Amino acid sequence: MIRNNLKEFLDKKVDEYDQPFFIKDDPISIPHQFGKKQDIEIAAFFTSIFSWGNRTTIIKKSKELMELMDNAPHQFCLNHSKEELKRLLTFRHRTFNATDLLYFIEFFKFHYSNNPSLENAFTKWMTKKDETIANALTGFYHYFFSLEEAPSRTFKHIASPEKNSSCKRLNMFLRWMVRKDDRGVDFGIWKNISPSQLICPVDIHVARVSKRFGLITRNQIDWQAALELTSYLRKLDKDDPVKYDFALFALGVIENF
């Protein structure tokens, strides 16, 4: 039985933080700089992959990369010259380096040369019976690394449920692309994945808050923990469980709950 006071409390926190003011100091501010769908997708993808550690640094490095791609990431990925690629060779963000970046761009060139959106890189691995995006994430992982000579070091930057990763960064990316409400934070530009299929991003802060509320029991932050948390959140809102990411993240990071 759901504790009504907890639902009311978390709903209140969602209403408090799922607001336009949230964008400015969050990594989602980077894709919000763009209006073209493909630019939003690429900017959001890179920013989500960079999203571990300090938010200020994440935003700074993501902005730096967008500038290196002339603030036109889709055009850059499709039509870059060898000389233009050279300017990327000094880019670093934590363990993500130029080798990783060049492969990401190679993948985007391959994908966007044949597809108008990044959405079907995920949805083509799903079936109508899928209750979650697990198959989408697993399929995407194998598709992303299907190009010849994918660097072995780059595999660590893309998570997969089959490796029991929580897939925090990809789940966050999918939240940005899929969720749509009247608040203007998430983009909601993908229509073939339902918000009800999303899995809540789980990091150390969200896990800490979730354990305090008794939403998860696992000590390890892994795929099973993400499923356990999302299963509870579906009891609060079966159609949009991941909206509670706003509440749990804000309590853990902004309010240090």
pLDDT tens digits, 204-215: 999 999 999 999
Mean pLDDT of 98-122: 98
From CA 210, how far away is CA 178, in angstroms rounded? Answer: 23
Residue 192's pLDDT is 97
Helix axes 37-49, 168-178, angle to 10 degrees: 160
Question: What's the pLDDT band for 221 if we cut at 50, 70, 90?
Answer: very high
With both helix axes pointing from N to C terminus, report the angle between 37-49 and 98-112 in degrees, rounded to the nearest 10. 150
> What pLDDT does 120 receive?
98
What percent of the chain clears pLDDT 90, i.e. is strictly above it?
Answer: 96
Q: What is the pLDDT of residue 1?
A: 38
What is this structure's pTM?
0.96
**Domain extent at residue 139:** 4-254
Average pLDDT over residues 224-252: 97
Tokens of 143: 């598709």
Q: Tell me the mean pLDDT in the region 164-178.
A: 98
The confidence score (pLDDT) of residue 132 equals: 97
The number of folded domains in the chain is: 1
Q: How confident is the model at residue 3 (pLDDT cuts 50, 70, 90)?
A: low
Residue type, 87: R
Degrees, nearest 5: CA angle 47-140-236: 75
